[in-house]
Amino acid sequence: MIRSSLQRGIALSFAAVMVCPMARAAEHVTLKNGFELDCVRREAMGDRVRLYLAKDSASYLDVARDAVARVEEIPDLPEALTKASTANDKHLSAAPSALTHEEMHTMLAHAGDEHNIDADLLASVVRAESGGQVRAVSRAGAQGLMQLMPKTAGELGVHDTFQPEENISGGTAYLDQLLDRYHDNVALALAAYNAGPAAVDRYHGIPPYRETRAYVARVIREFNRRKRMVGVNEQIAQAQ
């Protein structure tokens, strides 16, 4: 059940691209889950690797060492991207670098209750959009956990896309609008979230974009996985 009062069929995912908030990146890191990051440097920490996203060492992400697929040296980032990244520095310095499982669950549950959307669907969108990284920034300029474009964020009243609760609230409101627009057709709403409603309307369905089709399938697949795990846990609890 996607909404508390409506039955919906679903599934999906998308490999987001994140860049560091700085002009000169030293390495391009590709993770096994498909996510990519531009980083200043890496530091081994036991079975984990710390990826520094800025020269001041205040912005970083920790990942499992075996989660890294490859590392490549990269040239300077384009000037246009540099300007956009620099403009985000003040947000990045104030935003938390990561959320605990409990914090994420609380935020998603609150947003889900406010918009009557299943929190597991929201969690699946977060996983597909940003991999749960608070400071994710795509090369297209989408920001935060649910990857809001600045214009969309402004229309939704989101003032700081790198504040996780505000970003999730805005992303959930946007998904709610799309679900209403497409009469609770989750696949179409997800396609519109990824490619924009204009593309969905133009093709009268999921656009024939490989990225969008893969995204929709990945989100729905993750949602179904989460629901199966809920069922398994319930069975275990009943057996005890």
Residues 27-84 have pLDDT tens digits of: 778 877 766 667 778 888 888 888 887 666 666 778 888 888 888 775 443 333 333 3
- Lowest-pLDDT range of 51-55, 150-154, 176-180: 51-55
Looking at the predicted structure, is the pLDDT value of residue 204 above 90? yes
Q: How far apart are CA 122 and CA 150, in angstroms?
A: 20
| Paired residues of 31 in beta bridges | 68
| Paired residues of 27 in beta bridges | 39, 73
Question: What pLDDT does 34 receive?
Answer: 67
User: In 25-162, which ranges are E strands?
Assistant: 27-31, 36-39, 41-45, 48-52, 60-64, 68-73
Looking at the predicted structure, is the pLDDT value of residue 14 above 50? no
The better pLDDT of the pair 123, 91 is held by: 123
Q: How far apart are CA 193 and CA 37, in angstroms?
A: 22
What is the chain's mean pLDDT, rounded? 79
Going from N- to C-terminal start, the domains of the chain cover 20-76, 101-239
Nearest CA-CA partner of 8 in 176, 126, 194, 234:
176
What percentage of the chain has pLDDT greater than the value 70? 71
Question: Are the folds of 20-76 and 101-239 the same?
Answer: no
- Lowest-pLDDT range of 125-134, 138-147, 170-179, 227-236: 227-236
Question: What pLDDT does 55 receive?
Answer: 66
Question: What pLDDT does 71 receive?
Answer: 85
Region 81-90 average pLDDT: 42
- Lowest-pLDDT range of 1-15, 51-65, 128-142: 1-15
Element (H, E) at 106: helix 101-115
Question: What pLDDT does 216 receive?
Answer: 94
Q: How far apart are the first and last CA of the chain?
A: 26
Region 205-225 average pLDDT: 93
* Token pair of 152 as six digits: 């969309």
Helices and strands, number each (H, E), in the chain:
9, 7
Task: State the fold for domain 101-239.
Answer: Lysozyme (1.10.530)
Q: Tell me which architecture the domain covering 20-76 has in CATH.
A: Roll (2.30)
Q: Active-site residues: which are they?
A: 129
